[in-house]
Structure 1
Amino acid sequence: MTLLEVEDLSVRYAVDDDSAVHAVDHVSFDVEAGETYGLVGESGCGKTTLAKSLIHLLDSNGYVESGHVWYDGTLPAWEDDHGEAKQAVIDDPDKPVRGDGKTDLAALSNSQIRDVRWRDIALIPQSAMNALNPVYKVGDQITEAILRHEPETPKQEADDRARDLLERVGIEPERADDYAHQFSGGMKQRAVIAMAMACNPDMLIADEPTTALDVIIQDRILEELEAIQEEFGVSILVISHDISVMAEICDRMAVMYGGKIMESGRTRDIFEETSNPYTLGLKNSFPTITEADQELVSIPGTPPTLRDPEEGCRFRARCPFAIEECHSSHPPMYDVEEAIETGRLVEAADQRAHRSACYRVDELDTIRTQATKEETWTEQTIESR
């Protein structure tokens, strides 16, 4: 069952000169119930903006310009023109419910989305070090979240649940009476995970859950997320710049660059049958355990400015495989399997297919071979295209 369906979503940030930063540009993907889905890419590619837009946590100058965020869950009813609360089959895109019963989170009011957060979709924020209130006991912060969304719950029961949640993530229950500064970095991250699970949500959004942690603690945090998913059946949307995190825990993933998705599909397919120049470049910059003498190769140049993005493929200025067509328009998401089997470029209708935004998907053998060579990724090579 598809729990979350992001459809052609565009998110903008207004700036002082009346222009806008195109932070997320016509992005589509879906997340199945009980699945771990990953969004990976360089800093500034739009990952966190995309995640925050799903539950209305953008900065004050951020807004969803277009698109839908369809969610399959029990959400607050909307009112019709006569003030009657209802959930109905409708065709009007300005209303938050569509024919199959899914609700458009992007169309909910601020008061309605507050009821969705924590109860249906919970966020594990990017910096656990700053996510906890320093003047409240850690256990009290978890209790507060429970009582906000379940006001009928007795205070003692909420306190007991908070301690139980901390124990589930490997923190001694009595530490609920401690303050955040008394926790180590790894304990803070676990505490934030426990807080996110306070109201048994259907989905967790984990934004850079292993940032600023050493590799041992990173591994333990990822194990905690996997254990929570197995126990509660929760879906997890993982956001990271670390492609190795995706390989470890994600069932499917999408690679973002410049506000767009460049490649998406099953994690195994993306790693074993990499089909986009940007993904190939990203893989080159991370070490593998199978090649001890591997030379890491970085992608030359810098990500594009999204304030007034140029026409064409977002990655073309840094891509050694760009062709003339890349300058005119950004490529659609092509079906990789279809391109390999038939040599034809066909847009992928299925979100679950292995997809790549590249005009040269039908030339993958050549591109993959050249992408392994260090000289392919020099500024001189790219400038000479």
Structure 2
Amino acid sequence: MKLDNYVGVICTPCGTTLEVLPKLHELEDSVAGSRALLRKLIQASLNLSAREVGQAAIERFDAPLSEWVMRRFLDELDTVVKRGLRFDYHRLEEELPFVRGQLDLKAQLRQPPGKAHRFHVRHDVYLPDRAENRLLRLALERVRVATQDPDSWRLAQELSMRLIEVPSSRHVPGDFRAWGSDRLMAHYRAVKPWCELILNRLMPLAVLGVHQGLSLLFPMEKLFERHVAAWLRQHVLPEVGIRTPAASEALCLHLDRPMFRLEPDVLLRMGAVRRVLDMKWKRLDAGNREQKYQLSQSDLYQMFAYGHKYLAGAGQMALIYPRSAKFSQPLPPFDFNGGMRLHVLPFDLDRDELVGAERVLAGFSDRWSAVPKVDGAVLCAIETKLS
């Protein structure tokens, strides 16, 4: 079995659980540390704020990924239930021995003589049968069957009794489209990402075991990209425009239509100055220059195309890789003809820090010294002259 860059948990039909964790360090790797790293990256991918999820909650929960996801969902659902489920009015049409609501005259006139004492009425009933509650009920049932943790199972049983009046969703995509976003649904906002995760909407590969457990596989490269993009949003100036990913340029035109779309992971723009950044989940070896530091030639070709299309052939770009023992400092810059420069930078996932960020983020953030807002080609020429 080959998983490539996927990490997560696989539950086999026989009940065996395989946990695939990211290997970031060569000697210091531990199960607890890898689990904490994976949870942190998933939270960044779900766009959860620090107020909703704290670091302490990550460190104290030492369990497989699937159990952690289910426990987070149950905790958020418990909060929603305690604050109160949202109800909605539903129009019912039925035949009753008394008048309730509005009398349906057309149906009543067609009533046979032997049933004249029965009334066709329309009335509204205030029920918790809403799209959001139906999705939560379906996710809760899957968690209740899949969890192996006694505390999670006990909480799932209790919540299931509280939601006994809510039917399960029969059309998941349609109910997610109908999920409300008004202020009355604000307390549902924290539980939605976990519900989406359990119902297999966010990750491209997820398998649900009916009796054995919940299987989740995440593309590690996508988690790394989203984590770095979330870090950038927190550290650049408010006036900096961020596109993740950018998709406005193509490699060529064919019959006057763009073909082969170019999509760098991050495009930063402030005035006329742009920066192109791309993230790769690969290991580099800064001491192995003979093997080109383990860089892929196709990655540099890709950045070359990004630079010509998004930076007009002149400016600063960066390839960002995870920091490791063999790659702890930025590599010397790679110069392309025409004033285009590529920086290869390590991102420290333990400390959440981009090493050498001043090379590409100078002027885009208060943390690093500002540079004059000049054209990218002029700025690159100045930096080359100084170096």
Question: TM-score normalized by structure 1?
Answer: 0.31
Structure of greater relative contact order (alpha carbons < 8 Å, 6+ residues apart):
1
Larger Rg over CA atoms = 2
